[in-house]
Every structure is written in C-alpha cells, then in structure tokens.
Structure 1
Amino acid sequence: MSLLQWLFVLIVFVVAYYLIISGKFNRSTVAFAAGIIILLSKIIPDFDMKELGYLVDFNTISILIGMMIVVGTLRTTGFFEFIAVHVVRVSKGNVRALLIFFMVTIALFSAFLDNVTTILLFAPIIFLVADALEVSPRVFLLAGVLSANIGGTATLIGDPPNILIGSASGFGFMDFLRIDGPITLIALLITVIYLDRKVFKDYRSMGDKLQRLASMDPNKAIVSKPALYKSLAVFFGIIAGFLLHGLIGIEPSLVALAGAAAAMILNGKSFSSLSEDIEWDTIFFFMGLFVLAFALQEVGITSFISGLLGTLSGNRVVLFLTLYWLSAVMSGFIGAVPAVTFMIPVIQGMTANYGVPVEIWWVISISACLGGSFSIAGAAANMVGVGLIEKHSKESLKYGDFLRFSMPVTIMTLVAGTAYILLRFSL
C-alpha cells in the first residue's frame, strides 16, 4: 500500500472518531458514512459487494439483532415491569436498599441482555421512583448505567465489546462467564459500596414517600401470561444454547436468530411490529466500524501497531499492563466498541506473529467493558442514559458532570481489574 492510501485511511479514521466523540452528528451515521467513503475510495482492492461478509462480522450483527427481537417480545408481556415492581416492594421503603437492589438487578439483567436495552427497560421505573421522592433522577439512572456496564462484562452477550471479542477469538459463553465473571462481581461490589457510602446515604430519610409504590401489585404489570411463559421459554432456551453451543456445534449467532424466529412465531409477532425494539443505530454503527477496521488492517496500520506492541512480548506483565490501560483509556474517551474494533486485528497480529498468549483477549475484554463507564462517549448505554435524563427532567447533563460521577468508580474498578489480570494471567 502507498503512503497516500495509508494517510487517507488514517484521516478518515481520525475525522470519523472526532465527529463521534464531539457528538455534533449521530455517531452511527458518521461511522456508516465513513465506511461508505472507504468503499467508494477503492482502498480495498478489487472489492465487490458480494464480498461484504468478509468485511462485516455478521456473527456479531446476528447476535445483536436476535437478542433485540427476543427482548422485544419479552417487553410486550410486561415482564420487566413485573420485576421492577418486585424490587420496589422488597426494599420496604428503604431508599438505600432500593437503589442497591436496582443496581444488582440491572447488573444481572445486563449480563444477559445488551446494556442499552437494560437501561431503556429500567429507566421508566427509576423515573417513577425519583418522581415519588421529588428528586432529580440523575444520580439514580447514572448508578444504573454504571451497573449495566459492569454487569455486561460478565458474559459473551452482555456488552457489545464482548460479542466482538467472542467472534474474533472463538471463546464461548462459558469462557466469558468463567474468566470475566469474578471481576464483574468484584467491580459491582466496589461500585455498590462506594455509591452507598458517598451518594445513597443522602436519601436515607425519604422512605415514607415510597409507600404508594411499595403497595403496587406486581401481577398487574403482566399483560399476557401465556405470552410471558412462551417468551421466557425461548429466552432460557437461547441461554442454554449459548452455554452448550460448543457441544451441539451451533454458533451463538445462529442460536440467537433461531430464538428470535421462535419468539415471533409463538407470539404472533412480525418484524415490523418489533422494528422499534431493534437498535438500528447500533447495527449500522457496527457495520461502519467493521469496514473502517478492515481498511486500517488492509493498509498496514494495525500491523504497524501490532509490531510496536509486539516488542513488549518478552515481558508479559509489561505487555498486559500496557495493553490493559491503553484499551481502557481508548474505551473511556472514544468508546468501548470503536476501541475494541480497532484493537481486534492488532491482537490477532500479536498472537499470530509474536507468540503472545491468547489470554491477552481477556485483557481487552475487561479493560474495555470497565473503561467504557468513564465518559459519556464510552458506551452506548451512557449516551442513552444521559439522553433519557435530559428528556425526562429537562436538565442538561454535560460531559464534565458525567465524568465527576463516574471517574472515581471507574478508576477503582479498573485498578481492581488490573490486580485480577496480574494475579490470574501474568504471575
């Protein structure tokens, strides 16, 4: 590749990421347009649209679409409202206990759903609680966002970066649960303790305002029990398929799509009726990033970076720490998904050419998922949560406001992740 092509791809990449970070344009539109510019420029030689599957990771796209459809069918049954009302009742008017329950519940749901969907499902309940307490929902929803990002770290399908890493590395659902699960629990515990002592303590005297919510009947939230049972059966069937995909020889992407088809047939749904439940912005964002990442690989930029990092391969501790914090910082400021999309070919080059152990995949998995909590731009759930707060309460939440809330927790969890990586893989 010529220097001109190298510079062209680098400029497209930098400009696209600047526009994504600045928030001046819709990030999915920017990423998709950047991908189209790359294709139109003929940087990828002899490219034909029939070869699009080589550029775009449809394993990742299929898992996302399949799970979004299944979650959409569950949403229509009232299942998530049922769970949320139960959480309110279990707290018995204790606001601090309620907020901790919310964090744990959101983290648990986020491990099996995508972060954005989890926030969208729990946001109305959080707003209901905040309105009952006559306070701003900012603290409550931001705590939920951090919990969603942490909970999503635990599994293959919980956070988009893990879906990307799973597809690139070949690691399965149980691999992520076994490796990322322990640090997820540690990070969640750190977050809960910190927020309870520094933030939630201010709400300890407001419990009497929750009595009306605590008296609600959660069973009234269920719209249709037959639909609920069928949707839950499909959902747990998908989870079983993820757990056993290595034994049955069926890829997780196909399991997710099969579950989506079953959910629609059993509940009489169509693609058009569930179209609003599919985060099309996320899908097209990924497609644009895949093309950008392929172009970076094609012109040799990722190979160059692999070579630089490969010089550290003789010292495992230094390599892991360098990659961990590089990935964390990139994820925090340009986004976890863009950072991982960029890092995947770098890691592939290092493992293929420099003998770097495959455990390095867990380094970027943990650092990207935890680091994504750092800023508004770090994860899609962050941007969605901020947008919901501003829409509901008509208050502006700036980049610095989010940073002040998230920074202490993110740094503490990243430090815990560093210790975990060193103890498990480097010593």
Structure 2
Amino acid sequence: MTIFILFIYTIAYAFIIFKPHISSVTTLLFGIVSILLLGEFNFENLPAIVDFNTLFILLGMMLTISILKKHGVFNEISERIVKFSKGNMILAILLIDVAIFLLSSLLDNVTTILIFIPILLYIADITDIDYKLLTINAIFFSNLGGMTTAIGDPPNIVIYAVSNLSFMSFIYNLMPIGFIVLIIQILVLNRNFKKITYRAQITESSMQKNNTWILYFIGFMFIVLLMALHEEVGLELGFITLVGALIMLFVEGTDFQSVISEVDWDTLFLITGLYMLNGALEKIEIFAPLINLFEPIKTSLLLAIIILWSSLLLTGFLSALPVTLLYVTIIKKLVSLGAPIDLYWALALGVGIGGNLTPVASMCNIVGSNVLRNYKKRTLTFAEFSSSMLKPVMLSGIISTVFLVFKYLL
C-alpha cells in the first residue's frame, strides 16, 4: 500500500509540473483516491485531513476581492498613483511597484498583477523601457509583498492556519525583510531608469465621479482589522473572512452568480487535493524518516537554513503551494517535538522568495506572463525570466539567512 500511495503522489505532482492547466482536478481526484484506499474517506474524518479554516479564508478573500474589483477600488488606487506622479513616468513606475508590494500583502497576487501590469505596459509604450523588464519587476514585487503577511498569498494562509501563529507575528517577522528587499530593488530600478526623462501628461478623465468605492475599501480594511484581532474577539479566521464577504454581498445586493464566477476554484481544488495527499502520506508515516533525521538538530540554526534554501529551490520547480503543504506537515511534527516556531518563518521566506525563481513557481508568474503575451504579443521565456530573477532572489535569500541567524542567536 505504501508503494501505491507514493506512486499516486508522484503522478499527482507530475501533473502539477507538466500539466498545470488540469492539475487542480487531477490533484483532487488523486487525493480522494489515496484517502479511499486507506479507508479514511468519510465526512467525520474529513475535517481532520482537510483544513477547512484555510479554505474558508481563501474563499472569503476571493469573494471580497471580486466585489472590490467590481466597484473599481483597485482602478481608483492605480489612477491616483499615476496622477500623483504629475506625469513623471519613472516616478509612476516606482510608485506602482510600491503599490503592488503593499496591496499584495493584503490581496491575492493575481489580482494586483491583473490590475497593474496593463498600466505599466501603457507607460512602457510612451517610454523606451522594455515591456519584459516592467512585467518581471511587477511579478517580483507582487510575490515579495504576498510573503509579508498572513493573508498575502495561499502558502502563508496555509502556514497561518496550521501553525496557530498570530496575525501580527507575520508582520513583525516578515514585513521588515520585505521592506529591505523592496528598498534595495527600488534603488536598483531607479538607477536603471535614470537616463529616461520623458514626461507625459495624465488626465483625470478616467477617474470615477462617485465615491462608493471608498465604502467598500473601508469594509475590506475592517475585515483585515478583525483578522488581526481574531484572537481577542474569539473568532476563527475562516469565519471572519467568509461572513465579511457575505455581508458585503448582502449590502451590495448584487447577483451572486456574477461574484462567484470570480472565485479561483482551481486553487481551492488544488489545496483540498494536496491536503488529502499529504494526509495519506501521514497515515503511512512516510515523513517519519525525515522527522527522525531532523529531530537531533530540531533546535539548531542549521535546520532553519536547510528549510529556507531547500524550500526556496524546490518552489522554483514544484511551485509554492505544493511545497508549503509538503513542508508544513514535517514542521508541525517537529514543533510538537520541541523545535522552535522559527522554522515556520524559514518556510514562509523560502516559498515566498522561491516563488520568484522561475515562471512556473507561482500562479502570479504565469498570469503576469500571460498578460504580457495577450497585450503586447511578447513571450517571456523560461531562461529570460529566471536569469532576470536570479540576482534579486539570491539577494533575498541571503538577507533571509541573516535574519534567521539573528533570530537564533539573539
């Protein structure tokens, strides 16, 4: 049975790598088959295998973002950034990159990419900046921002739900690293752009005349505030996000079908399937040798660095979410045996930074590349993407390693 479960797991990951367009369905199917084979598939056991709190957080955020997009919240923010630049395109690019970083810490990366890359491509049309350069940098800042909070991207949401770490602890531990890398990369971009002096006029013709978007933005920030205070108010994160989204739907009075169509069912199916596959691996105790190998060094800095760099490199080829669900199972067991919770930070940094390593490392990368191809008929090759990302990824990894050294020594 162990060999057969491992075979199913390998086939599922092969689909994730080589057939990503159908990987969500195949992963869920293989997950169900693996649980059935072990005789564990029933509605009483399912909550012990699948973390429904994580799924509800994702579903609630997807519904909320769909409503915010519909009311032009993100368009308003981007237009005000361009207007604030007073026609200076280079300043506009840098401000947009910062906005991508900040918004990606609160929203899913795909949303920020879909909003801002078209604006950056428009700016590229009236400057001599390469389309590919702007697209790659937007993807980098989006993944970087998503790494800095508990709700910034699906891997962090999974870590958040499994680890029982507080919402603010993610900000305290990850946001400083994100800001350091952000500042360094902005300085590099500014140096590269300094020879471009073209200035364009920005008009206010596209700005919305009503301010209803502000109300929905305030509602969203209230949901984020409740998530930050969920321990104090005694509510589960999944409950807060899902009920918050439903209240916004009720207030808006819109057709539910138009909103539910924006939900990323691929991600929800993929996560559910991966939970089942990992649950099957736990049942056959496949992680036991790794846990036994790491247990003697469970409190050492070496283990944290191994997790950081191995998850970073694996993410480049397996993508962030599968790597997170694989590692979090091992880390959870090690923490129960006395390992420090800092191992979760090593994982969050590894998959967050590794998500920039290759064009298939995260959904954000795939969507960003597709936007470039659809808008400008330009294709980002694997080599172009990875070679452009290699230096900032390695720099981010080194900064993260220094952070872990200080965490363990201080």
Q: Indicate whether the TM-score tops 0.5.
A: yes
User: Does structure 1 conserve the Cα–Cα contact (< 8 Å) formed by 2:89 and 2:123?
Assistant: no
User: Does structure 1 conserve the Cα–Cα contact (< 8 Å) formed by 2:73 and 2:217?
Assistant: no
User: Does structure 1 conserve the Cα–Cα contact (< 8 Å) formed by 2:17 and 2:318?
Assistant: yes
State the one-letter code of the partner of 1:140. L
Aligned with 2:28 (options 19, 32, 39): 32
Match of 1:232 in 2: 217
Shift of 1:81: 1.2
SS of structure 1 residue aligned to 2:37: coil
State the one-letter code of the partner of 2:41. F
Name the Cα RMSD after superposition.
Answer: 2.0
User: Does structure 1 conserve the Cα–Cα contact (< 8 Å) formed by 2:304 and 2:342?
Assistant: no
Match of 1:337 in 2: 321
Whole-Å Cα distance in 2 between the matches of residues 412 and 74 of structure 1?
34
Match of 2:181 in 1: 187
Give a deviation string over 1:349-392, Cα, whole Å, max 9, x none: 11223x21122111111121112111112111111111211222
Match of 2:309 in 1: 325
User: Does structure 1 conserve the Cα–Cα contact (< 8 Å) formed by 2:73 and 2:214?
Assistant: no
1:216 is aligned to 2:201:
no
Shift of 1:93: 3.2
Whole-Å Cα distance in 2 between the matches of residues 27 and 392 of structure 1?
26
Match of 2:332 in 1: 348
Match of 2:368 in 1: 385
Whole-Å Cα distance in 1 between the matches of residues 142 and 224 of structure 2?
19
1:304 is aligned to 2:289:
yes
Match of 2:277 in 1: 292
Match of 2:158 in 1: 164
TM-score by length of 1: 0.90
Whole-Å Cα distance in 1 between the matches of residues 154 and 180 of structure 2?
21
Whole-Å Cα distance in 1 between the matches of residues 77 and 126 of structure 2?
19
State the one-letter code of the partner of 1:22. F
Whole-Å Cα distance in 2 between the matches of residues 83 and 231 of structure 1?
13
Match of 1:418 in 2: 401
User: Does structure 2 conserve the Cα–Cα contact (< 8 Å) formed by 1:79 and 1:222?
Assistant: no
Change (3 A) 1:303 1:265: same
User: Does structure 2 conserve the Cα–Cα contact (< 8 Å) formed by 1:63 and 1:256?
Assistant: yes
1:94 is aligned to 2:83:
no
Unaligned runs of 5+ in 1: none
Whole-Å Cα distance in 2 between the matches of residues 379 and 140 of structure 1?
18
Shift of 1:125: 1.9
Superposed, 1:7-26 pairs within 5 Å as 7-23=3-19, 25-26=21-22
Whole-Å Cα distance in 1 between the matches of residues 255 and 82 of structure 2?
33
User: Does structure 1 conserve the Cα–Cα contact (< 8 Å) formed by 2:32 and 2:41?
Assistant: no
Shift of 1:55: 1.9
Give a deviation string over 1:208-250, Cα, whole Å, max 9, x none: 3x32xx2234xx4337533x24312321210110121111101
Unaligned runs of 5+ in 2: none
Whole-Å Cα distance in 2 between the matches of residues 247 and 408 of structure 1?
42
State the one-letter code of the partner of 1:122. F
Residue range with higher mean Cα deviation, 140-149 or 392-401:
392-401
Residue range with higher mean Cα deviation, 367-376 or 29-38:
29-38
1:56 is aligned to 2:50:
yes
User: Does structure 2 conserve the Cα–Cα contact (< 8 Å) formed by 1:81 and 1:125?
Assistant: no
Whole-Å Cα distance in 1 between the matches of residues 325 and 20 of structure 2?
22
Aligned with 2:240 (options 252, 255, 259): 255
SS of structure 1 residue aligned to 2:45: helix
Whole-Å Cα distance in 2 between the matches of residues 406 and 18 of structure 1?
24
State the one-letter code of the partner of 1:59. N
State the one-letter code of the partner of 2:167. F
Shift of 1:15: 2.4
SS of structure 2 residue aligned to 1:301: coil
SS of structure 1 residue aligned to 2:256: coil
Superposed, 1:40-119 pairs within 5 Å as 42-119=36-113
SS of structure 1 residue aligned to 2:25: helix
SS of structure 2 residue aligned to 1:273: helix
Shift of 1:23: 4.1
Whole-Å Cα distance in 1 between the matches of residues 209 and 117 of structure 2?
19
SS of structure 1 residue aligned to 2:340: coil
State the one-letter code of the partner of 2:25. T
Tell me how many residue pairs correspond in the alignment. 410
User: Does structure 2 conserve the Cα–Cα contact (< 8 Å) formed by 1:351 and 1:357?
Assistant: yes
Change (3 A) 1:420 1:298: same
Whole-Å Cα distance in 2 between the matches of residues 276 and 405 of structure 1?
35
Shift of 1:139: 1.6
State the one-letter code of the partner of 2:183. L
Shift of 1:170: 0.5
Whole-Å Cα distance in 2 between the matches of residues 406 and 107 of structure 1?
16
Shift of 1:56: 1.6
Shift of 1:408: 0.9
Whole-Å Cα distance in 2 between the matches of residues 394 and 144 of structure 1?
18
Aligned with 1:178 (options 172, 184, 198): 172
State the one-letter code of the partner of 2:37. I
Change (3 A) 1:47 1:77: closer
Residue range with higher mean Cα deviation, 8-17 or 262-271:
8-17
